Amino acid sequence: MRTKIKDLKEKIGQEVTVAGWIDIRRDHGKLIFVDLRDASGKVQMVALPSHADAHSLANTVRPEWVVEIKAKVNERPEKMKNPDEENGSIELEILEMKILHKAETPPFDVHTDGYEVNEEVRMKYRYLDLRRPRLAKNLLKRYKIIKFFRDELDRQGFLEVETPILFKSTPEGARDYIVPSRLEHGKFYALPQSPQQYKQLLMASGVEKYFQIARCMRDEDTRGDRQPEFTQLDIEMSFISQEDVLALIEELFTTLVKKLYPEKTITESPWPRLDYKEVMAKYKSDKPDLRKDKNNPDELAFVWILNFPLFEPEKEDGHFAPSHHMFTAPREEDVSKLATDPAAVRSYQHDIALNGFEIAGGSIRIHDAEIQTKIFDLIGFGEEQKRDFNHMLTAFSYGIPPHGGIASGMDRFISILENEPNIREVIAFPKTGEGKDLLMDSPAEVSEKQLKELGLEIKHGKK
Equal CATH topology for 5-101 and 126-448: no
What's the rounded mean pLDDT across residues 194-217?
A: 97
pLDDT, residue 392, reads: 92
pLDDT digit string (tens) for 300-313?
999 999 999 999 98
Residue 21 clears pLDDT 60, i.e. is over it: yes
What's the rounded mean pLDDT across residues 11-39?
A: 96
Report yes or no: 352 and 358 within 8 Å, Cβ to Cβ.
yes
Q: Does domain 126-448 correspond to CATH entry 3.40.190.10?
A: no
* CATH code of the domain occupying 5-101: 2.40.50.140
pLDDT digit string (tens) for 356-392?
999 999 999 999 999 999 999 999 998 988 898 999 9
pLDDT digit string (tens) for 390-421?
999 999 999 999 999 999 999 999 999 999 99
User: Residue 316 — pLDDT band, cuts 50, 70, 90?
Assistant: confident
User: Residue 461 — pLDDT band, cuts 50, 70, 90?
Assistant: low
Residue 109 clears pLDDT 80, i.e. is over it: yes
Residue 3 clears pLDDT 70, i.e. is over it: yes
pLDDT digit string (tens) for 255-284?
999 999 999 999 999 999 999 999 999 999
pLDDT digit string (tens) for 153-194?
999 999 999 999 999 998 766 889 999 999 999 999 999 999
| Residue 74 to residue 12: CA distance in whole angstroms | 6
Hey, where are the domains in the chain?
5-101, 126-448
- The mean predicted confidence, pLDDT, of the chain is 95
